[in-house]
Structure formats: C-alpha cells, structure tokens
Structure 1
Amino acid sequence: MNTRASARQRARFPLHTVIAAASATGLALIGAVALGAAPATAAPRAAAVAPVPFCPPPGEMPGIGNVPAYTDSNVAVFAGGDYLATGSAAESEGLLLVQGDAVFDKANGGVFNVGSVGVGSGIVPPGGTTMLAVGGDLTVAPTTSVHVGANVDGGGAVAAGGAATGAFDLYGATLTVDLGRAAAMAPNEDFQSVVDGTSTTLGALPATGTTSVAFGRVTFTGTPGDAMQVFDVDGADLASTFEVFFEAIPADVPILINVTGDDVSFAPNYFSLNGERVDAFSSPNFGNAASRILWNVTDATSLLLGGSSQFMGSVLAPTATTEVTASTNGRMHVGGDLTYSGVGNEHHNYPWTGGGSLGCGGGFSASKLVTGSGAALVPGDTVFTLAYDSELDGREVTGTLSLRADGTVANGPQGLPDGTVVHLTEVDLPSVPGVEWGPATISPEVVTIASGEVVHVTVTNTANTNAPSAVGGFSVAKALGGEASALVPEGTEYTVQYRYLLDGEPVTGTVTVRADGVVVDGPQGLPIGTVVEFTEIDLPEIDGVAWGTPVFSPETVTIADGASTLVTVTNTATDAPVEPTPVDPTPETPGDGAQGGGSGLASTGVQAVLPALLAVLLVAAGITALVVRRRRTA
C-alpha cells in the first residue's frame, strides 16, 4: 500500500471529498464490480499480472500502455439502456455496466476486449471479479469473441441478468447467467440514479472561467486558485468546433464543462492544455489530462462523439442516447442506449480526479477462504454473508456482501469519502452436512477508506468434520418365509424401488435383489440426514406360490455418517389354493323316449339295457348253482 501517495493525494485534492459529500446519498449505494479484459487481437497471451490494489493518485496518472498496473473497482462505462459494440470497435477498459441488453457484433468479426485491454491506461478491476455486468441478455455474434480480463491474474467474470450466447474467454473466471437485473448489476443496481444525481449536482455549479468559440476552436480560460475550474458551453456551438484549448488552468485541479442543449454532436481532433497538446499518446500528460476533464451533458437526449481521434475526458450524459466513433479516455456514463461503432475505437479507463461516482474512490473488496479438515466437504458455490456498517454524513449505512466458498472476490461499496470507517462481521453461517464451523477470522475487521485505494478483506472459516464421513448409504437383501418358500428358485429376482429428496428435488431408483439373500448395495454417497423410503414393485409369478405383503426392516432409512444401513425385505410365500376341476353334470330327463328329441332317446336306451343285463346275471347264477348241486349228488 502506497501510504505516502495516498496522503499526498488527500492533501492535494480536497475537492475529491467535496464532490463525494455532494453526492453522498448516491455514493453510499455505489459498489463497483471489478473488471479485467483481453488483448485487442488474438495475440499470444502475456503472463498474467496482479495490479497494485489502488488507483494512481491525481497528477500521476499513467499514459497509454499495455500492462495492467493499477486497480479501480468503480464503473468505467455505463449504459442506462442497451449497449452495442459494432463496426470495428475494439475494446472497453474497466468495468462495463449495462442496465439493458448488450450485443457485441463486430462488422468483420474478431475479438472485443472488456476489462483489461491490449492498449490502455492499465487501470483495471481486481482479477477474478465481475468485469462485464449486463442486466438483460448478453449476445455475442457468431464471428465475434468477447475476451474479459486478459493478462490479469484471475481473469474477468461476467454476470448476466438474462441469457448469454456466443463465444467468451474469461481467462479462468466465471460466466453467470439468469441472475435477474438487480443481482447481475449488484452492487450497482441503482447506478442510473447515481448518474442522474451526480449530473444534477455538478450542473448546478456556477462557472468559474470563460468560454469562447471562434474559427473551429473552443477555448476555456481558467481563473487562479486551487478550486475546480467550471465552464459552461452551448452544445450547438460544439458542432462546428474541432479544437479544444484549455488556457490558464491551475495545476492538477479538476476541470468541469457543463454542456447544455438537446442535441449535441462533437468531433474534436485536437486537445491542448496550457499550451501542450495532450491528446497524442506521446504526451507525458495524456493520462493526467484525461483524468482531469469532465463533460457534463446535462439535458441532451442525443449525443454523438464523432471522428476517429482521441476524445479527452469523462462524459456524463444522464438522458442521452449516445453514439461514439472516437476513442474515449475517462469515464463514459450515459443514461440511454450506448453504441461504439468506430474504426478500431477503444475506451481507455481514467477515473475523474473530481471524485464521486466518476472517481477512483476508496472502497473495499472481500473473498472467502475455507480451511480445516472438512474444507473438501464445502461446495464451491456455498454462500457466506459478510455484513458491513459505516457512518456517512451522520447516518448509519449498512449492507451485506455474498462471498462464495471458491474464493470469488466480491466488491463492497466504492467511492466512499476519505476516512470512512467500515466495520465487518460475518452472519448466518451456512449449514453444510458433516461440517462444524470454527470461529471466523476477518482480516482486517475494520477498514478505513483512503482515496484511490481498494482494501481487500479475507474472511477465513475453519471447517471441522463432525464425523468420519459426511455421507452414507444403504443396502438391500431378500428374505423368504412361509410354507411355499421352497418352491421359489434361488435366482428369482425382485425389484425394490427407493426414493428420497436431494436439494429439494425427488430422486427415485431401483435395486434388484435375488431370492438367495445376497446383499446388494444401493447409493452410498448420500448426504447425512437424507431419508430414504422403499416399496417393492412387480412381484415375480411362481407356480404354486401366493405372495403376502412385503415387510421392510427398517421401513425407512435416515442416512448416517459413514454408514450403509441394511434393509431386509421379507416376502411370505404361501401355498396357492388348489382350485377344483369344474364339473358340468347333465340331469336326466324323465319321460317316454318316443316323445322327446335326441335327449329322450338316449335316456330310454340306457333304461332298456340295465334290466336285460340283470337278467343275464341271474340266469348265469342259477346255472352255476345247479351244476354245484349235481356234483355233490354224484
């Protein structure tokens, strides 16, 4: 941390605090999602770097280069409507925040860089944080690729309120979609009101210098002193000017130009500050000039920044639909749609030294570190809540940050006044199966805001395992009973269905067991506390066997740490009842055979045969008796 630079900045720029106080309500809501981007072409990747965790102090702004060197978490580019990058627009340095939809559709295809860029100021968001935040849908055309966070350690994350389609390279960071507008833009979901309030506040400031327009040149002449230089100009006069001259401007002070008019079109190609041309990359004061100038387009509904040169200074246009073909250097905060459509034009991120929502205000970011024996049991998307509170203009300001277990950096409010003291606590620890949390360590627990510095806070939680394992399972075996169980072949298969809830969603499956009683494992990686229920379906059909109602022991299983609970399913096999062979007796029909049909004739025939047979038997018996008697007589 460059404490000497910070002290020097506070001493030299009391206006930073003045402007911050003037916009205190809006600034309390500001939190910038940090960005990082990629090279302007598909060149080989340079080694990723970690920029220093603060902004350069006013008066020491870097020129144009290609190495990310400083950190800035405030919003660099804001579109209150939709955002379109087309033509051969090349890159947008710093945090790009879009309230509506964003479309990247380069006319001839290729790479569009966001966050960190191939050539820029090198003032970028912290690595791994959100660098492109879109409240609506995010679309990348088929021949275009969006690179976010190139050459920054951790890359750059992307958040979309709706869907995201197309090709992205985030250099190791994450793309999150379907968040909804507020969540995707957080903590900048109210940034439109910040833009409105800042423009109104600055627009009400009286002019301190004079403005003259002649022969294609607009000249702003300052007054002595160390106060911010304020000028007024009619937007209609800018349409015919191509050169901008600032004369007699005191060293290092911010410069504000309030531009009036409904329709503003401006295409300058030459900027001079106190006799030095400052819009050339070769100028040693390129970055200092860009960071000092602010164009506050107070009431225009249409704004065109034309040409293909370097436009110097930040732009604040709360009600304008804006098209840009020039390269811009500063902040770009517009309330309507924003289109970059030039020839290789770029946005280079330079915070305004006047401070407030346009400045590189102080703030803090935070990330989670999970340690301990149970760290591996904590999913990376587990969310922890870090609460913060501070005092601003005599009132308490509170809020929370959501920290993911995977260490993703989250940004707290940015642009806070110097000296603001922020207290941090962790609340509502998440419940993770198998884990007991030790005390949290917050380093540092108290943050004192210093202008241009983003203090990083690490919240460390120790995850202790509360059992040998945080998962368990169950197994199933078949048992048979009853007098007919011997009729069941050992290879007979039974189907046991199980069901449980996982993260609130029902899960079902089956286990196949055999009559021989061999144990079969069900799922073994279920979280402890999961309740599993069972049913038996599609009982097999076996001759001579009738099945009773299956009995489960136990009836349900509650998963325990490291345990696999055995469930025995008992089926009672009883003898199937023997069903008698059905008989269909035909009753005889009494009566004369001559009087009926075929049935009567058959009955009469039977009745005639039986007496004749009986007579024959009697005769045979009589003959037998006679023969026996004669033998005895003889």
Structure 2
Amino acid sequence: MSLRRSFAVLGTLGVALGSGLIAVSPAVAATSAPGATAGLSAALCPPELLPPPANDNQVWHDDQIGVFAGGDFIAESASAESEGLLVVLGDATFRNGKGFNVGTVGVGSGVSPTPGEVMLAVGGDIRVEGANTVLDVGANATNADDELVGGSVQVGGNTTPAYPAPAYRLNEGTLTEGMGADALSAWAETDVAAMSQAFSGRDDTGEVTGDQWNLTFTGDGASLRQVFTVSADKLTVGNPAIHFLQIPERASVVVNVTGSGDVVWAPTYFTDNGDRVDGLDAPRFGQVAGRTLWNFADADSVHIDGSSQVLGSLVVPAKDSTDAPAMRITASTNGVIYTAGSIIMDGQGNEQHFYPWIEYPCGSTPEPGPEPEPQPEVEGAFTITKTVQGENAPQVAFSGAYSCSIDDAQVSTGVWELAAGETTDPIVAPVGASCAVSEDLPTDTEAGTWGAPVVSGSPAIITKASAQEPVRISVLNTFVPAPGPGPDPTPTPEPTPDPEPTPDPEPAPTPEPTPTSEPTVEPTPAPTTPAETPEGELATTGGTIAITTVALGALLLVAGLLLRLRHRAQQ
C-alpha cells in the first residue's frame, strides 16, 4: 500500500470535502471519492515520489480535485493549462487566444483523472472566447486498450459557442450541458473555509527564521505532520527564497500564513536540506510539491506571482471582493488549489501542475486528523581529530568547542578535549547543519611556544551519509621549542705585560794609573789572530775571550814592574 493511501488513518472530522459530509476512517481509506470511477485501481494511483513536470512522465490516475474555484474560473492572457480535475462552482471562461488544456496536459506531473471520466465540472456556463481559443479536455487520454477516450465535461448551464463547435476538443470524450445542480453533485458542498480552519488549528512543530532574502522553515525532525506559522508580510516582503530543513522523509508540511489584506507572493526559489528543488531537473521537486500545503487563512486575496515554479498546494478561503478575485495566478503552481472565490489565470505560459497532497488518499479528499506517530529525526555525525607537530612537544590536553547551525540558527553546541593523536566519538548533528570547530590555544612554557591552531574541514556540512561515515574535522598545532644553552665561549687570554726594562749597569770607574817618571813602554800588542780550537775552528766563546783578556792584563802588569825595577837599578 502506498504512503498516500496509508494516510487514511487521519481520523474522523465532520467536514464536507469532496462530496458532502463524510466521515473518514480506515475502512474507507481505499475507496474513491463519490463521483470518481468506482473501479479505480490502487496500482494507478500516483507513487509517493513524483518526478518534476515533463512531457514524457509515466501516466498515473487520481480522480480527486486538482483545482477548485468556489466562484468563477477565467483563463486569459497566455495561460496554458490546468492538470487534474477542474471544478468550478460559477462560470468558466477561456480566452487565452490558443489551446488551453484541462485534465491532461503536455508538460506536467503525469497525474490526471481516469481517462473517459469527468475532467471539467462547471456549475454555471462555459464560454470560449476568441477566434483561436480552443478548450482541449483529456488530450491523449487512453483506456486500457490504448484507445483514445479523452475526458468528459459536465455543465450546469450553457456553452458559448454552443457545443459542438471547433472551440471544443474533447478527444472522444463527452460534454453534457444544462445539468443544473447535478453537474456538481459530487463536489457542491466542498467547504474551503472549514478546511482552512482545520489546518489553522494545528500547533506548530517547527520554527520560521530569516529575512527578506531567505526564509527558513526548520522542522522538529520527527513529526509526520510538520506545522509552521508565518506572517504574510514575512513571507512576501522581498520575496525571499524558501528553505526547508529537518523535514522527515515521509512527512507532510502545513504552513499557516497569517495576516489580512491583498497578499502577493512571488518566491524566488525553493530548497530542501540545502538542495534547490524547484528546477525542472531537481530529483526532489515532486516530493516537496506533494508534501507541502500553504494555508492563507486570513488573506483578503492572494496573487501567486513570479517566474519560479511555486511548490505546494494552496488553500485560500477568501471570497471575491468588488475589486479583485480571491486568487490571481501568474506563476506556474505545483500541488492542488482550493479557494472559496474566483481564480484568474493570466500569466505568460503559466501552468497548474497536479501534485496530490500527500495526506489526501488517492481518489478522495479527507480532512487532516490526529497527528501520525513521530519518526526519528534524520541525523548525521562528525568527528574531531587532534594532531601535533614539532620536536619535544609536551603532552598536554587540548580543548575547544563546536557549534552547529542551520541558516544562522544554532541547533547544537558542545566542548571537546583530546590528547595528541586522539579522535572524538561521533558527534551527532541534524542533517543539513553546518558544524564549526574552534580550539583554546595551549599555554606556552619555558620549553617552547604553540603556533595558532589550523582547523581543516570546518565548517562541515552534515549529510545523511555521515550517519555511517562521520564527516572528519582535524585540528593541528605546531610546537616550536625554545633555543637550548650552547657551550661556554673560550675566554680571551690576558695580554702578557711588557717586561720591565733592565737598567743599564753603571760602569765601574777605571782606576787612574799611577803616574811614572819613566816613559811608558808600549806593550807589545797581543796577536789578534785567535788560537785555533782543537778541531781547527776559531774560538768564539765568551770564556776564551775572557782568558785572553786576563792574560794580556797580567802581561802588562809584569812589564810595568820590570820597567820600575830597571829604573831603580839605574839610579
């Protein structure tokens, strides 16, 4: 059984949705809505996840309402198509100057009413205006035998121009006019105001944060019906991008928009857990479109505008004012549309793509009931690893903190403490969170200093895959040792003082010779040739010179004595 059908356990509310007062219970969950094909096969119902709009999607069938207008429906300008069952309590006018598709479309989700069954029901009149305008119902709708059967049209009043005419293309389908109230008997008591009130009565499960550029809807990660409340001003001023976070895989989303007045909403784009989902190539386009419902409970009128694909069903309980219809649509929508008033489609090629809301079982339109059982929050994890570089780094405990946030809203914080080489246990964080790590710088010591930490992998984005293999963040510190003591320098030797000068010896006074009357005999000069040494070398030593001098002195003394004696003898 598909999830869409399993939502039939939504309880019982006495609200007329689809065909008068109905009591929704598990016993009727698999039945079709009154007026739908009784033999509708569950195998033909849409899957839980539909693809983005395309012209080659697989065809699925769902006979519940795609677009409901409690007043009139007008398709003009260059509007193009309305996929799924179109129910109009008032008149339906088509004047876009070209073909306008109803029921089945060229580019859409691929979900349409059962071929051959009612695809357009109008309580008043149908008018097709303009020479080139063609109302095309059930294009390419074939039965099990691959036979073209188109779609049928029920009209309470009349057709202009009168059917049959070139202005109508029913693709082998039928058009019945003048039916009066029977044209809408299956849907006449649909109460959009009661539907909106039921949604507004739900307690919020998440919070809305942001500004005029980005608006984030953060769920609780567990409830199977995520409920948010946002003011119309916050939703529309600046036309912020819409971001969804922490929405469980199989959950529905209800956004209650508060505030009266004329609301003009032109969202820039849509994301889910950080991935853009409004592009025609986005894999989760259909998931977000099918799970989301926007309830404009207080608005006097709503204009859906802009160039992006607007994702989600639209509920507008307002009725027409004298100046404006309840709804004006100039953008392409993706979901289901309910309004108590009129709808004007007047954009440039805009289309209404049928993505049944996930809580509406295939073929019927139950009102939301009791909260489904919660499921675990979608979480991932990250780790912190400590690394140290540098010689002789001291063993210290490193510490720091981490913080995880989603769109600047903090969702978790904590502290960590590690030694070098250690890694934390996985730290759990919500999928889509951005987790940043910081460190307290270690204290320097006499042994050296610590450089600033280098954090790699931070901030880390938490993914679903990180639940099995955590995202890694590393913190590196480098230790710089202090310079060590070197060898003592060699002292500079003291300079040797200059020696004291030796005083010159004073010469001994030469004794004056005793004068004689005799003439002094000149002494025979001693030979100047030095005696040879025994080895035949000249004597050059001081001792030899001294002996010679003494001998010469003695010889002179003897000579002097002899002269004196001779002198006396002559006397």
Alignment CA distance shift 1:128-1:204 (3 Å)? same
2:79 is the counterpart of 1:89: yes
Alignment-derived partner of residue 64 in structure 1: 53
Alignment-mate amino acid for residue 299 of structure 1: D
Contact 1:34 1:95 (C-alpha < 8 Å) held by counterparts = no
Offset at 1:324? 0.6
2:346 is the counterpart of 1:341: yes
Alignment-derived partner of residue 433 in structure 2: none
Contact 2:18 2:34 (C-alpha < 8 Å) held by counterparts = no
Alignment CA distance shift 1:334-1:286 (3 Å)? same
2:242 is the counterpart of 1:237: no
Provide, for residues 265-284 of structure 1, a one-character-per-residue CA deviation record: whole Å limited to 9, x for no partner: 11012000111111001011
Alignment-derived partner of residue 170 in structure 1: 170
Provide, for residues 472-495 of structure 1, a one-character-per-residue CA deviation record: whole Å limited to 9, x for no partner: xxxxxxxxxxxxxxxxxxxxxxxx
**Secondary structure in 1 matching 2:286:** helix
Contact 1:330 1:350 (C-alpha < 8 Å) held by counterparts = yes
**Secondary structure in 1 matching 2:281:** coil
Equivalent of 1:17 in 8, 11, 30: 8
Alignment-derived partner of residue 120 in structure 1: 108
**Separation in 1, partners of 2:186, 2:275:** 40
Alignment-derived partner of residue 202 in structure 2: 205
2:218 is the counterpart of 1:217: no
Contact 1:52 1:71 (C-alpha < 8 Å) held by counterparts = no
Hey, which bits of structure 1, 4+ residues long, moved more than 6 A? Answer: none
Alignment CA distance shift 1:310-1:416 (3 Å)? closer
Offset at 1:173? 0.9
**Separation in 2, partners of 1:76, 1:134:** 14
Offset at 1:33? 5.3
Contact 1:23 1:198 (C-alpha < 8 Å) held by counterparts = no
**Secondary structure in 1 matching 2:310:** strand
What value does the CA root-mean-square deviation take over the aligned residues?
2.3
Provide, for residues 500-548 of structure 1, a one-character-per-residue CA deviation record: whole Å limited to 9, x for no partner: xxxxxxxxxxxxxxxxxxxxxxxxxxxxxxxxxxxxxxxxxxxxxxxxx
**Separation in 2, partners of 1:20, 1:268:** 33
Alignment CA distance shift 1:216-1:227 (3 Å)? same
Alignment-mate amino acid for residue 147 of structure 1: D
Offset at 1:319? 1.3
Alignment CA distance shift 1:19-1:295 (3 Å)? farther
Query: May I ask how many residue pairs the two structures share in their alignment?
Result: 334
Alignment-mate amino acid for residue 90 of structure 2: G
- Point out the structure with max Rg over C-alpha: 2
Offset at 1:308? 2.4
Alignment-mate amino acid for residue 136 of structure 1: G
Contact 1:183 1:189 (C-alpha < 8 Å) held by counterparts = no
Offset at 1:327? 0.1
Instruction: Write out aligned runs for 1:178-189 (5 A).
Output: 178-180=178-180, 182-189=181-188
Offset at 1:232? 0.2
TM-score (norm 2): 0.56
Contact 2:78 2:350 (C-alpha < 8 Å) held by counterparts = yes
Alignment-derived partner of residue 249 in structure 1: 247
TM-score (norm 1): 0.50
Offset at 1:119? 0.4
**Secondary structure in 2 matching 1:291:** helix
Equivalent of 1:150 in 109, 134, 139: 139
Alignment CA distance shift 1:147-1:282 (3 Å)? same
Alignment-derived partner of residue 155 in structure 2: 160
**Separation in 2, partners of 1:33, 1:76:** 14
**Separation in 1, partners of 2:252, 2:115:** 29
**Secondary structure in 1 matching 2:12:** helix
**Separation in 1, partners of 2:3, 2:236:** 40
Equivalent of 1:101 in 74, 86, 91: 91
Alignment-mate amino acid for residue 174 of structure 2: T
Contact 1:52 1:69 (C-alpha < 8 Å) held by counterparts = no
Alignment-mate amino acid for residue 213 of structure 2: G
Instruction: Write out aligned runs for 1:77-476 (5 A).
Output: 77-106=67-96, 109-142=97-130, 143-153=132-142, 154-166=149-161, 167-180=167-180, 182-191=181-190, 193=191, 195-240=192-237, 241-263=239-261, 264-320=263-319, 321-354=326-359, 359-362=360-363, 414-415=364-365
Alignment CA distance shift 1:294-1:7 (3 Å)? closer
Provide, for residues 363-394 of structure 1, a one-character-per-residue CA deviation record: whole Å limited to 9, x for no partner: xxxxxxxxxxxxxxxxxxxxxxxxxxxxxxxx
**Secondary structure in 1 matching 2:327:** strand
**Separation in 1, partners of 2:367, 2:284:** 27
Alignment-mate amino acid for residue 261 of structure 1: G
Alignment-mate amino acid for residue 305 of structure 2: G
Contact 2:195 2:367 (C-alpha < 8 Å) held by counterparts = no
Gaps in structure 1 of 5+ consecutive residues: 1-5, 36-49, 363-413, 419-634
**Separation in 1, partners of 2:350, 2:62:** 22
Alignment-mate amino acid for residue 178 of structure 1: G
Contact 2:318 2:341 (C-alpha < 8 Å) held by counterparts = yes
Offset at 1:139? 0.3
Offset at 1:19? 3.8
Contact 1:34 1:124 (C-alpha < 8 Å) held by counterparts = no
**Secondary structure in 2 matching 1:114:** strand
Alignment CA distance shift 1:7-1:160 (3 Å)? closer
**Separation in 2, partners of 1:314, 1:244:** 15
**Secondary structure in 1 matching 2:197:** helix
Offset at 1:190? 1.0
What is the identity percentage for the equivalent residue pairs of Structure 1 and Structure 2?
40
Q: Which has the higher strand share?
A: 1
